[in-house]
């Protein structure tokens, strides 16, 4: 256990051997007494955390490594000693100001690697690690050897991107000291450009042109912070050039409904682009400015799988070509259902149709004759209003796209007509309220299968409009009374228009009590 202080084992002298030695000495002539003493066995150190041992009390051998501004801690993990965790501390000084950074679980690997995400830029950062046992006791902090690293500015390219698709790169720089940033591009860093640094805790945002490059090259930028006599160490950030736009269908997947289905294009670095149905056809295609969307008639009228090829000119100075394979939806598996309960009973005439299949247009009617139904653009959500009157309502629906018409699909609803309804939720009939209070009156309303138009409330001064319809509210300044007083409250809902206009009114009685003094 790390807290156990081990001592070296001392050689033991067995009494029998001592007697034999004395007997041997007695047999030697006094004049010929010669010989030498035997050296003791070297001590065995069974606890590497022993301060007097060869590890000086810290066998973890903490190392601090830095690459591209990323700080990583590495330490040895002694096995078989009951270590369950490691406590990591941080300071900006090697001998004071320590604070807890993290507590991590031990593993069975020879070495532990920990990535630091909170290192202070333009500063020397010190770290130390202690081993922790299952009892929560830690190895002696006085013997935990600190290790430090001097950092330059924290530099983030394109929001920590590993790859860049455009030569126009956005860089974020953070410092803890320094007022000026000296920025130079690799590989030779020969020319520096200066920018103002942001205040500590803030971020300076710099956009720069990385210049022409080939696929797979690296964009490197060096940043140094300065302020009078202070000059930080340099931070070199890099990202690999990867300009290979992989375009997709806007709606995702590989099934298309239109010969001009919209494409989604990763537009970073794209100066212009062109599309065709074959790689050979790209040479004759028209270039258009780079954009994150593209829509134009590309596909053929045949029903089999087809390819869409895209060529993209990049601002790094080279082009990239990619393609996708798409298949027209022949709508043989198109689906339609009404969003109604399992028993298909509905008390509202306004229903939602759920469609399945890649279609461009849809038409529907309450009857099998769709010839008179107008084709409309296929919406994401189809709103259907049932005809007036209770009973069975069957919806006939058909979809189509640039290649096929779907079969006629059906679903039904049993419309149970209810009249217009309105009700108080608070207060309720027979309720008691206190005079002088400001009370939010609340209620509900139902349009009887048609749209609600207005909810009004009479709180003693005639009907005035409430806020809301299906769920409505109205503020009531309850009058002050000197004795219990019963008042009548009314609510009125109006739904529909013309021949469907309907109104419902409800009345409740409420007792007002004098204010409590």
- Residue 108 burial (CB count, 10 A): 6
> Where among 129, 150, 171 does a domain terminate?
150
Q: Residues 136-184: pLDDT tens digits?
A: 999 989 889 999 999 999 999 999 899 999 999 999 999 999 999 999 9
Together in a domain, 158 and 145: no
> Where among 383, 415, 447 does a domain terminate?
415
Domain count for the chain, please give it. Answer: 5
- Residue 323 burial (CB count, 10 A): 17
Task: For residue 434, give the H/E element and its range.
Answer: strand 432-434
The answer to whether residue 308 is domain-embedded is yes
Together in a domain, 487 and 507: yes
The answer to whether residue 28 is domain-embedded is no
The answer to whether residue 4 is domain-embedded is no
Q: Which two tokens stand for residue 248?
A: 């997709």
Q: Residues 201-228: pLDDT tens digits?
A: 899 999 999 999 999 999 999 999 999 8
- Residue 122 burial (CB count, 10 A): 25
Together in a domain, 433 and 505: yes
Range of the domain at 119: 63-150
Residue spans of the chain under pLDDT 70:
1-46, 498-500, 517
d(CA 336, CA 357): 9
Cα 37 versus chain centre, distance: 74
Q: Which two tokens stand for residue 507?
A: 């009345």
Q: Report pLDDT for 281.
A: 97
Burial class (CB in 10 A: 0-12, 13-18, 19+), 444: middle
d(CA 70, CA 118): 10
Which residue in 147, 75, 88, 83 sits closest to 116, CA to CA? 88
Burial class (CB in 10 A: 0-12, 13-18, 19+), 72: middle
Together in a domain, 236 and 267: no
Task: For residue 21, give the H/E element and its range.
Answer: helix 15-27
Q: Report pLDDT for 500.
A: 64
Task: For residue 293, give the H/E element and its range.
Answer: strand 293-294
d(CA 385, CA 424): 28
Where are the alpha helices (H) located in 354-455, listed in sequence order?
Answer: none
Q: Report pLDDT for 31.
A: 39
Q: Report pLDDT for 38.
A: 67
Contact of 181 with 225, CB cutoff 8 Å = yes
Q: Which two tokens stand for residue 240?
A: 């690999």
Which residue in 375, 451, 452 sits closest to 443, CA to CA? 452
d(CA 290, CA 70): 35
> Where among 241, 262, 284 does a domain terminate?
241
DSSP 284-348: GSPPEE--SEE----S-S-SS-EEEEEEEEETTS-EEEEEEEEEE---TT-EEEE---TT-EES-
Which residue is it, tokens 């503020």? 475
Give me the CATH number covering residue 463: 2.60.40.10
Give me the CATH number covering residue 186: 2.60.40
């Amino acid at each position: 256990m790390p807290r156990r202080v081990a001592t070296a084992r001392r050689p033991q002298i067995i009494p029998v051997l001592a007697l034999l030695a004395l007997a041997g000495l007695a047999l030697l002539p006094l004049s010929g007494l010669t010989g030498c003493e035997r050296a003791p066995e070297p001590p065995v150190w069974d606890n590497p955390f022993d301060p007097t041992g060869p590890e000086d009390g810290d066998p973890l051998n903490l190392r601090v490594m830095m690459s591209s501004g990323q700080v990583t801690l590495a330490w040895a993990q002694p096995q078989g000693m009951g270590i369950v965790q490691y406590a990591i501390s941080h300071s900006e000084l090697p001998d004071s100001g320590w604070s807890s950074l993290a507590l991590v679980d031990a593993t069975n690997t020879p070495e532990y690697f920990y990535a630091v995400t909170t290192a202070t830029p333009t500063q020397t950062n010190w770290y130390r690690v202690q081993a922790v046992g299952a009892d929560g006791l830690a190895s002696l902090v006085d013997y935990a050897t600190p290790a430090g690293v001097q950092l330059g500015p924290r530099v983030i390219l394109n929001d920590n991107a590993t790859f860049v698709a455009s030569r126009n790169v956005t860089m974020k720089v953070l410092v803890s000291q320094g007022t000026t940033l000296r920025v130079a591009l690799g590989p030779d860093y020969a020319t520096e450009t200066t920018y103002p640094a942001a205040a500590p805790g803030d971020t300076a945002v710099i956009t720069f042109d990385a210049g022409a490059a080939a696929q797979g090259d690296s964009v490197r930028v060096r940043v140094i912070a300065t302020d009078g006599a202070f000059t930080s160490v340099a931070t070199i950030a890099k990202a690999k050039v990867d300009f290979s736009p992989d375009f997709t269908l806007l709606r995702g997947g590989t099934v298309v409904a239109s010969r001009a289905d919209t494409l989604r294009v990763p537009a970073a670095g794209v100066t212009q682009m062109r599309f065709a149905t074959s790689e050979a056809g790209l040479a004759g295609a028209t270039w258009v400015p780079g954009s994150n969307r593209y829509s134009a008639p590309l596909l053929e009228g045949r029903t089999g799988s087809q390819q869409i090829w895209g060529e993209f000119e990049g601002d790094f100075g080279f082009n990239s070509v990619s393609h996708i394979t798409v298949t027209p939806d022949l709508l043989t598996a198109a689906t339609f259902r009404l969003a109604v309960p399992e028993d298909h009973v509905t008390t509202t005439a306004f229903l939602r149709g759920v469609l399945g299949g890649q279609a461009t247009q849809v038409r529907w009617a309450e009857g099998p004759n769709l010839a008179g139904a107008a084709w409309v653009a296929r919406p994401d959500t189809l709103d259907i209003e049932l005809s007036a009157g209770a009973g069975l309502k069957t919806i006939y629906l058909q979809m189509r796209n640039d290649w096929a018409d779907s079969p006629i699909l059906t679903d039904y609803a049993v419309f149970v007509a209810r009249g217009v309804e309105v009700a108080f939720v608070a207060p309720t009939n027979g309720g008691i309220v206190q005079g002088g209070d400001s009370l939010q009156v609340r209620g509900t309303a139902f349009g009887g299968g048609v749209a609600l138009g207005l909810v009004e409330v009479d709180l003693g001064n005639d009907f005035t409009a409430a806020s809301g319809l299906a769920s409505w509210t109205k503020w009531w300044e309850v009058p002050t009374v000197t004795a219990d007083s019963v008042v009548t409250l009314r609510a009125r809902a109006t739904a529909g228009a013309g021949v469907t206009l309907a109104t419902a009114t409800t009345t409740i009685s409420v007792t007002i009590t004098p204010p409590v003094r």
